[in-house]
Every structure is written in structure tokens, then in C-alpha cells.
Amino acid sequence: HKASGVSLCLVIGTLPHPSAFPKSFTMDFVDAVQSCAQDRPLLLVVDSNLVYGQTVAETFSEQGLDLHDCSDPGAFGAPTCCNDSLMGHPESRYQSDRTVLCGGRGAVKDFTVKKDYICNAPEEHLTTRATVKLTEAVPNKHTEDENSPSMRVPFPHIYGFSASIFCLAWCYWICDSCRRRSEEPPDSARPLLNTRPPREP
């Protein structure tokens, strides 16, 4: 990030479904993240396959990766997944899509979820947008998300940049994937996400 001079470790993708745990991360992925995020903030723009209240940091901890000082407002935000019209649930029910910053060098702000689907395709996710603000000052530890009572992070030198481009690119990929799935026969195999009932908050 040119304005702040802070180098980031960026991860974009889909995390394994919790039912695939334990130890569903490959060692190559674990080693790559540990190496990249050793002295850099870690920014994740992911379909986490998680539900309300479950954080991405908890998922990584179960895989042996200790992420500290994570800002993950999507864990307590509006649901993003999915358009399960074929199962009688056109409304989103799970807080799966996340923008998360770990490493104590800033926070995710203005995490928003659009109300309408783009393609109205089966299993489509809602679009998210967020702003990631970086700081050269290291905040106090044990900060979770901007809505948490413990989130009192001093930002004496804040440099903001938008993670929207990452989110939009991710949502474009999701939309294209949903379009391809909509062309499949109705009885085609469905992902594990939709087989698990929503967890009560």
C-alpha cells in the first residue's frame, strides 16, 4: 500500500466447509500464509463457509494457524449466503462472505451487504463491500471487530484504502460460478454448505 508504506499479505478464495475439518488446510497453504503474514498484516477476502458469530480467526486456529488482532465485522453482520430458492429459501441465511484484516495494523470498516442478487442464480451470494484502514501504529491486542466492546484501536496515522476492488472481483467470480451452476440439471450435486441447518446465534 503506497500511501502508508505497509506491505500486505492478501488471500482471496473459498475456505473448506467446517464439516471437512479437522485439518483440511494443506501444509503448502499453511506454510505460505505463515511465511507471508509473519511480519505483514493479513487481508482475507473469502467465502468462509461460516455462520453468524463464527470468526475466520477461529477457523485458522483449528488448522494450527494463530491469527491475532483480527477485525472481522462480517461475523456479526448481515447474511450473504445464499439464494437457495430451489430449497425454499431465497433469502440469505449465513454470514459466509468476509473481509478480514489480521495482524494489528488496522481494521475493516464500513462492511456492507447489498440487498439484492445480481444474477438471481441458484446458490448466488450477495455482494459485499468494505474499506480496510491501515495504521503504522500497532493497536492493543485482543481486538476482534469494530463492533466489539474491546475494539478501541488508536489510529494516530491512518491510511485508508478500499478493498472494494477485491470484493467486486470475488463477487464477479461467484456470479459467473452461479451462472454456470444454473445451467446444470436440477438434481446435480449440491455443496455441503446447504446441507447444514443454520446455527442459532
Residue 140 has pLDDT above 50, yes or no: no
C-alpha–C-alpha distance, residues 52 and 201, integer Å: 6
pTM over 0.75: no
**Distances from the Cα of 180 to the Cαs of 58, 122, 149, 183, in angstroms?**
32, 10, 42, 5
Helix (H, G, I), strand (E, B) or coil at 45: strand
Task: Give the angle subtended at the CA of 99 by the CAs of 101 and 55, to the nearest 5°.
Answer: 80
Q: Identify the pLDDT of residue 158.
A: 33
Residue 153 has pLDDT above 50, yes or no: no
pLDDT band at 62 (very low <50, low <70, confident <90, very high): confident
pLDDT band at 194 (very low <50, low <70, confident <90, very high): very low
Residue 146 has pLDDT above 50, yes or no: no
Evaluate whether 21 touches 54 at the Cβ level (below 8 Å): no
- Sheet order of strands, 42-47 included: 9-14, 42-47, 97-102
Residue 55 has pLDDT above 90, yes or no: yes
